[in-house]
Amino acid sequence: MPNTALVYPGPGRRPVTAPWLRWTLLFGFATLMNGCASWLLPFGEYSPPEPLEQEAAATPATAHDLSRHRFALPKDDNIVGQLGVVEVRDGDTLPDIARHFGLGYEEIGTANPGLDMWVPRAGSRAVLPLRFILPDAPRKGIVVNLAAMRLFLYGGKGGEVVTYPVGIGKEGRSTPTGDMYVARKAEKPVWYVPESIRRDHEKRGDPLPAAVSPGPDNPLGAYAMYLSKPSYLIHGTNKPYAIGLRASNGCLRLYPENIDLLYRQTPVKTPVRIVNQPYLLGWHKGRLYLEAHEPHEELNAKALQAALQAKLKEIEKKGHALDWPKIEATVTEARGIPVPVFAHTPGVEQLAREAVPLALPEQFYGQPPVPQASTHESWYVEALENGDALTAQRTAAVLNHMGPRIPARAVALPDGNQRVLAGPFEDAKHAQAAARQMLLDLDIKGKIVPPQPQRLTSK
């Protein structure tokens, strides 16, 4: 048993990938939206949903089940799924891999601290954290763990759970915790912009209308579920690569393909419990596991670690020898991967080596196409005048994954470096709009490139 308390490393101590790209260059999502409406309805009678309608009935966790995130609930344990692994190909990005396999940005980034998010080395192994410790909450309706940035939907009859990644509220506008319920639902919702968000956008020189109609510019996406707590929703998004980030002003956002399923499987009055549990203990076949996430700034990390240590000491008193150095490393690294913590059990690296190999598709779901060089009549925006290949490829990848997307590619220069051109655009108006979006969201001062007499070539 250790003599000292677990030491929380504090923000920035865990391994991260390319901090400048991770936060400064990653979309500028922080001021995009808040809760959108207030609807108070009587709680009424809750009828749980039917077993989740996906491709087949729930079965043990095979590679097929891992990719669907649908699992049979264990009777005595509280861990579902298995770690997966894929071999990265040239041109793949971790956000594309994450979305295809139902993971969020932070999830795949923290699970793979040695990989570049946007230009991972071809041939490297990307661990897919597809094993989850269920939150400490009743298995009923919707449960969201903000620390893991995951939503769990419990089926009514089949003893099943399906889980999706979510985007949550940023620091200062955190998603609230507590018990709520789905008050009403809407397809193709209108976004009535809160006054606080309108003021934020006016300060940025990007004024918003009082209401945004359904369509590609609507941050609610195609579906919205209004919670009983005023101004908070569970909804889709027009910026799918912000899923798995603290980027909203309080609402919960899902990938478009996930909100489509969740919306159809969630009746009005479904209970919703939101928790913030960075340290999760779980059991599987007699083994104790610890899943650790970095505590959010508004939480008391030291108090949470003291509570975790107290629980572990109680377990140790029952005759279970614990690996305390591994426990401390798991808390410090906060990789979001369940790790067995009994003495003489595998560590995270061995677990990664034993992960289930998953096949990559020819093209990832939702993957933006790489734009091709167009004719001399096209307009472009130069996002990077001259840079090394890695910087250019990262910049182009980020632009391609923005919402709305800005098509971009790296173009070879005679000196061996590369420039980044966004486009092609059909006219100056569209090019100027893209340049404005780059400036507002990424602080990139793009240069408008008018039609050229010769075709542009790309590397």
The predicted-structure confidence for 170-191, as pLDDT tens digits, reads as follows 988 899 999 999 999 999 999 9
For residue 3, pLDDT over 50 is answered with no
Q: Is the dihedral of CA 442, 448, 449, 451 positive or negative?
A: positive
Better-predicted residue by pLDDT, 405 or 23: 405
% pLDDT > 70, the chain: 82
Residue ranges, comma separated, of all CATH 3.30.70 domains in the chain are 379-449
Please state, rounded to an integer, the average pLDDT across all residues of the chain: 85
Report the top-level CATH class of 379-449: alpha beta
CATH code for residues 19-275: 2.40.440.10
Question: Above 80 in pLDDT, residue 208?
Answer: yes
CA Rg value for the chain: 23
Query: What is the pLDDT at residue 427?
Result: 93
Strands 160-165 and 233-235, by their bridges, are: unpaired
Residues forming the active site: 235, 251
CATH 2.40.440.10 domain range(s) in the chain: 19-275
- pLDDT bin (cut points 50, 70, 90) of residue 1 is very low
Distances (CA, A) of 420 to 39, 168, 417, 446, 449: 46, 31, 10, 10, 12
Quick one: pLDDT band at residue 373, thresholds 50, 70, 90? low
Element (H, E) at 329: helix 324-333
Prediction pTM value: 0.85
pLDDT band for position 66 (cuts 50, 70, 90)? low
Instruction: Count Cβ atoms below 10 Å from residue 173 Cβ, excluding itself.
Output: 19
